[in-house]
Structure 1
Amino acid sequence: MAGHSKFKNIMHRKGAQDKKRSSLFSKLSREITVAAKSGLPDPDMNARLRSAVLAARAQSMPNDNIQRAINKASSTDSENYEEIRYEGFGPGGVSLIIETLTDNRNRTVTNVRTGMAKNGGNMGASGSVSHGFDRMGLISYPAKAGSADAVFEAALEAGAEDVQSSDEGHEIWTAVADLHEVARALEAVLGEAEGAKLAWRPQTMVTVDEADAATLMKLIDVLDDDDDVQTVWGNYDVPEDVMERLGG
C-alpha cells in the first residue's frame, strides 16, 4: 500500500508487509509478468517492466524469482490479468484509490466491496475520488542516497517537479511523461532507486483522528491482504503520535 507523501504513514505499513512477504512476492511477480507482456521482456527496453523490477529488488525479491516472472509472460499457459481501478471512501472522509490486477473481475469487485463495507468504508463510482488526485510519476530513494539538499539539486537537474524528504527517505515527483527519463538521470547520480512508478498524489490531505485512524488501518490491511489488490492510495494524514500509539 502507498498512502501518500507522508513517510510516517507509509512506514506504518512496512512491518505488516514484511510479515506477508510471500503474498508480496506474488503481487510483485504478477506486475512483472503483466509489464513484460505489455512490451519487450527486457527492462532496458520496457519502462514499465523496469519499474516493476526495481520495486521487486527494493523488497529483496530473488533474481531467480524476477526472471521467472519475466519468462512467464511468454508462456502459453500464463494467466491473463486485467487492470481495474476502484474508488471509494474510508473512515474520516478519506478518499481511497485501489489498483488491482485480476483474472476474475467479479471476484475482485466482490472482495473489495465487502472489505470496504465491513471496515468503515464504501465504494464510489469511477471518478468519484480520483479527481482529487494528480496522476504523476514517483521515484523513491532511501535516506542514505544523500542529504535533502543533494537529492533536491539532483532531482531539479534531472527535470523533476517536486521533492519531499524525511528521515526515512526521499520522494521525487515527476510528470507522467517524464518519469523514466528523470529516473535514468537520477540513477547516474544517486544510484538505483527503490522504486519508480506511476502514482496518485492527493491534492489535499485529510487529517484523521485516532478512532478513525485505527479503523482506516484495519481497512487498508484487509485490502492489502487481497491477492488481487496491488496498491492502495489515500489522502489521509495521521499525526505521528497517533501512528505511534497504533503501533506504527
Structure 2
Amino acid sequence: MAGHSQFKNIMVRKGAQDARRGKLFTKLIRELTTAARNGLPDPAANPRLRSAITAARNANMPKDTIERAIKRGSGGGADANFEEIRYEGYGPGGVAIIVEALTDNRNRTASEIRSVFAKGGGNMGETNSVSFMFGRKGTIRFPLAVATPDAMFEAALEAGAENVESDEGGHTVTTQTEDFAQVRDALEAKFGVPEFAKLTWQPQNTVPVDETAAETLLKLIEALEDNDDVQTVFANYEIADDVLARLSA
C-alpha cells in the first residue's frame, strides 16, 4: 500500500469513535469556513465549497452545522480567518511527509507539529525540504456507482485528465494542476458533485518500509492526523500488504 495517509486503526470503543468523529467534524468545519471565506458562499458558484459540503454530508454532519460554518466564513469575522500552511519533514525509515493545515495560530500549530514529529521518531524540516520529491496534482474522486470504469475513463480523457484508476473504492481521476478546474467542472456536469476534488501531493517515488519502521511511521501519521489543525497528510512510503495486515490486526 502506497502512503497517502490511508492507515486507520479500527476503533471499537464508542468513546474513541465519538472522539474521532468530533475531530473529523472540526476539520470539515474549518474547510467549510475557509471555502466560504475565500469564495462565494453559494456552492453553485464555489467548487471548493461544493466539495467541502459533499465531504461533510458523507460524514453525516447535521445540516445546521454545515450552514453555520458557511455563514461564519461568509461573514468574514476575524474568528473565521484560518490560514493555510504546509509543513514538511521526515518520518522513520527516511519517509518524506507533507502536512497541510488550517490554523488560526501559526506559532501554536508549528510547535505542535514539530513536537509530533519529534515524539514519533521523525523531524520537521524547512518548507520545500521534501516537496521536491512529490508532484502537485489534481485529484478527483467519484463513487463507483456513478459510471462504469470505461465511461469514466472516456469522459475523463475527453476532459483532459492525466490518468484514471477505478476499483471497488471508486474512480480516482488525476490531472495536471493547470487542467484541474476544467476536468473537475466537466466531470461534475456529467456525473454530479465528486466525493473529493482537491490539489494533492503525489510521491514521485516510494520508499519501502520494513515492519519495525512501519509501525512507528503509522503511529506518527496517525498522531499528525489527530491534530485538529491538520487537514491532510501525504507521505511517500510503501508498506507490504502482509505487513500492513499484521499491524492493523
CA shift in 2, pair 1:152/1:15, >3 Å: farther
**Partner-residue secondary structure (3-state), 2:202:** strand
Number of equivalences: 242
1:123-160: CA deviations, max 9, x gaps? 11111111111111111123333443332222112221
Whole-angstrom distance in 2 between the partners of 1:149 and 1:21: 35
TM-score, with length taken from structure 2: 0.88
1:196 equivalenced with 2:191 (yes/no)? no
**Partner-residue secondary structure (3-state), 1:164:** strand
Q: Is the 8 A contact 1:23 1:227 kept in 2?
A: yes
Structure 2 counterpart of 1:213 = 214
What pairs up with 1:54-203 in 2 under 5 angstroms? Answer: 54-73=54-73, 74=75, 76=77, 78-203=79-204
TM-score, with length taken from structure 1: 0.89
Structure 2 counterpart of 1:241 = 242
2:34 partner letter: V
Q: Is the 8 A contact 1:55 1:196 kept in 2?
A: no
Structure 2 counterpart of 1:13 = 8
Moved more, 82-91 or 182-191: 182-191
Alpha-carbon deviation of 1:68? Answer: 1.2
Alpha-carbon deviation of 1:14? Answer: 7.6
CA shift in 2, pair 1:102/1:61, >3 Å: same
Q: Is the 8 A contact 1:214 1:246 kept in 2?
A: yes
Structure 1 counterpart of 2:24 = 24
Whole-angstrom distance in 2 between the partners of 1:190 and 1:161: 18
Q: Is the 8 A contact 2:177 2:199 kept in 1?
A: yes
* Gap regions ≥5 residues in structure 2: none
Identity fraction in percent: 53
1:37 partner letter: R
CA shift in 2, pair 1:14/1:3, >3 Å: farther
CA shift in 2, pair 1:3/1:148, >3 Å: same
2:8 partner letter: R
Structure 1 counterpart of 2:224 = 223
Whole-angstrom distance in 1 between the partners of 2:56 and 2:182: 20
Moved more, 141-150 or 215-224: 141-150
Moved more, 169-178 or 107-116: 169-178
1:21 partner letter: R
Alpha-carbon deviation of 1:237? Answer: 1.8
1:34 partner letter: T
2:100 partner letter: E
Structure 2 counterpart of 1:37 = 37
